Amino acid sequence: MSEKNEKPKKRTRREFLQDIGLVGVGTLIGGSAIFAGINYDKKKNAAERVRVLTAENELLEIDKSEASKVVKPNLENLTYLQKQGREGLPGKRFVMVIDLSKCRNARKCMAACNEAHHLRPEQHHINVLKMQDSKNTPAYYMPKPCQHCDNPPCTAVCPVDATFKRADGIVLIDNERCIGCRFCIAACPYSARVFNWAEPIHSLEDEGKTYNVELNVPQKKGTISKCLFSADRVREGKLPYCVSACPNGVYYFGDENEDAVTNGTTKETVRFRKLLEDNGGYTLMPELGTHPRVYYLPPKGKEYPFQDKDKEEAGERLES
């Protein structure tokens, strides 16, 4: 019994030692396995590649570790909007065609523009002028937005690059940078620019809004404002505010590269160059070499009479 009793004791000790040995070896093997596994995982992750689609529609492969999530424009909104506003829309060359034979001075364009850009009633990004070129020629109404010249005198003289020309043809103003010297007003032969002489009328409601350089809202006291070809709407693929608001089919807007312009009233899309060719399109004061992107169709075959009350103002500058 005693032997019996001793036996299990002995075995227990041997087994105990064996067990320790097993556990020890097991731990070593397991440990190195885990270690190796972790190392393997690390290496595997590093080698992993991901495919990304760039804004230029190019499929690229990069290391996953180098990929990071796009920072959504929230706090950094300001720089984002300003940067985006400076870049413009790739591949586009925006143009506007204004058909003077259709304009009856409804001024819906002016109202829509003033509302969108938070302007005072006496400030005009687009101004419908009563024109008469000489004594015997007919008077006509002429909407005049910024001409978005390809050789813009205004951007050349700006000392701080606050006003600039984008690759898509649009001339914008960054009122976060503008110093208010008004050299651009002096340089613009089309009188297209306005200045915030006083606190803008919407300044209370606009307070805290992120500045959008493509809308130029909020307007700021002591800085320039101008027609932007509604760059914010154009980015969304829509027509400019004035173009959509016109009830008389005066405006066409579109892309010179596509050779297509769309009428804001009828929504009809026509060939840009054919429209100019068929109707004798021209630009304002081509002799100044500014190369405007706004084209006019002459007031031929007007469908309305020029109002008598406007005749005096139209002929004001003619030599009597």
Partner 1 sequence: MAKNNTADKITSDLLRSIRLNWSFKIWFAFLGAALLVCLGAYGLQLKNGMVVTGLGDYVSWGMYISNFVFFVATSLIGMLISAVLGLSGQKWAAPLTRIAEIIALAFAAVAGLVIVMDMGRPERLLNVFIHGRIQSPILWDVTVITIYMVISALFLYIPLIPDLKICSEKLDVPPFVKNIYKILSLNWAGTSEQKKLIEQSTRVIAIFIIPVALAIHTVTSWLFANTSRVGWDSTIFGPYFVTGAFVSGTAAVIIAMYFFRKNYKLEDYITEKHFDMIGKLLVLVSLVYLYFNLNEYMVAGYKMKEFEAILIRDLFSGNHAVLFWSVQLFGLVLPIILLLFKKMRKPLPMLVIGIMVLIGAWFKRFIIVVPTMEHPYLPIQNVPMNWKIYTPTLIETLVTIAPMIMVLLIITVLAKLVPIVPISETLEQLETTEENKK
Interface ranges with partner 1 (CB under 8 A): 110, 122-124, 127-131, 144, 153, 156-162, 177-183, 185-187, 189-191, 193-199, 221-223, 285, 288, 290, 313, 316-317, 319
The answer to whether the beta carbons of residues 82 and 280 sit under 8 Å apart is: no
Nearer to partner 1, 159 or 305 (CB): 159
Q: How far is the CB of 160 from partner 1 (least distance, A)?
A: 4
Question: How many angstroms separate the CA atoms of 75 and 77, rounded?
Answer: 5
Nearer to partner 1, 106 or 129 (CB): 129
Q: How far is the CB of 100 from partner 1 (least distance, A)?
A: 14
Q: How many Cα atoms sit within 13 Å of 305 on the Cβ side?
A: 4
Provide the 3-class DSSP secondary structure of residue 319: coil
Nearest 5°: the CA angle 319, 297, 226 is 80
Q: How far is the CB of 318 from partner 1 (least distance, A)?
A: 10
Q: In three state form, how does the secondary structure of 210-270 look?
A: CCECCCCECCCCCCEEECCCCHHHHHCCCCCHHHHHCCCCCEEEEECCCCEEEECCCCCEE
Nearer to partner 1, 19 or 161 (CB): 161
Q: How far is the CB of 184 from partner 1 (least distance, A)?
A: 9
Nearest 5°: the CA angle 78, 81, 83 is 105
Q: How far is the CB of 108 from partner 1 (least distance, A)?
A: 14
Q: How far is the CB of 91 from partner 1 (least distance, A)?
A: 27
CA distances from 193 to 20, 168, 182 (A): 90, 20, 9
Nearer to partner 1, 157 or 270 (CB): 157
Q: How far is the CB of 156 from partner 1 (least distance, A)?
A: 5
Nearer to partner 1, 270 or 288 (CB): 288
Minimal CA–CA distance to 97: which of 285, 280, 314, 227? 280
Nearer to partner 1, 89 or 172 (CB): 172
Nearest 5°: the CA angle 38, 44, 48 is 145
Nearer to partner 1, 223 or 244 (CB): 223
Question: How many angstroms separate the CA atoms of 124 and 248, rounded?
Answer: 20
Tokens encoding 275: 């429209």
Nearer to partner 1, 81 or 131 (CB): 131
Provide the 3-class DSSP secondary structure of residue 99: strand
Q: How far is the CB of 62 from partner 1 (least distance, A)?
A: 34
